[in-house]
Amino acid sequence: MPVAGEIFDGINALVYLCQGDYLNASISATAMVPVAGWGATGGKVTSKALKAFKAGNFRKNMIRLTGINPGKSMQAHHVFPKKFRTRFHELGINIDDPRFGSWWETGAHQKNSYSYNLRWDEFFLDNPTTGEAYGLARELGAKHGFTLNF
């Protein structure tokens, strides 16, 4: 149904937005646009292949996203630290989205996580934007030598 489908996609986008699920909100909003919506529908199917983005299945979702299961040699690193979950949520970032994860060598991860979090402590002393959060994440990824998925 040409027009009704767009209306329902718009309603879906608003529901997802109210729930703080910005990924699915953007997919549903895109689905409202003729032709672009075809790609968004495929995106919905792809996103369902990943489990709900929660801390308990972060590693499994990283394995699905990257196609890599590094065993115990690497840890699934939250690029946006769990310590600041609420602050990142306020910026519209779901830290459990596997795109915001990286494989980090176990020893390096454990050795550097304290200083990594200190840098984020400093970051939140101001009122940062989402763009600034992405920028710092990229800077820290380069500094610590782990690959980002966004």
Same-domain status, 75 and 116: yes
Same-domain status, 44 and 69: no
- Among 30, 49, 68, the domain-final residue is 49
Q: What are 19-53's pLDDT values in tens digits?
A: 666 666 666 666 666 655 544 544 554 554 556 78
Q: What are 109-120's pLDDT values in tens digits?
A: 999 999 999 999
Give the domain range for residue 112.
55-144
CA-based nearest residue to 13, from 32, 39, 36, 38 = 32
Task: Report if residue 140 sits inside a domain.
Answer: yes
Task: Report if residue 150 sits inside a domain.
Answer: no
Per-position b or e across 22-57, b if 16+ CB within 10 A of its CB: bebbebbbbbbeeeebeebeebeeeeeebeebeeeb
Overall domain count for the chain: 2
Q: What's the pLDDT score for residue 43? A: 52
Asked if the model's pLDDT at residue 2 lies above 60, the reply is no
Q: What are 78-115's pLDDT values in tens digits?
A: 999 999 999 999 999 999 999 999 999 999 999 999 99
Top mean pLDDT of 5-14, 52-61, 82-91 is at 82-91
Same-domain status, 59 and 45: no
Same-domain status, 104 and 38: no
Same-domain status, 73 and 7: no
Task: Report if residue 149 sits inside a domain.
Answer: no
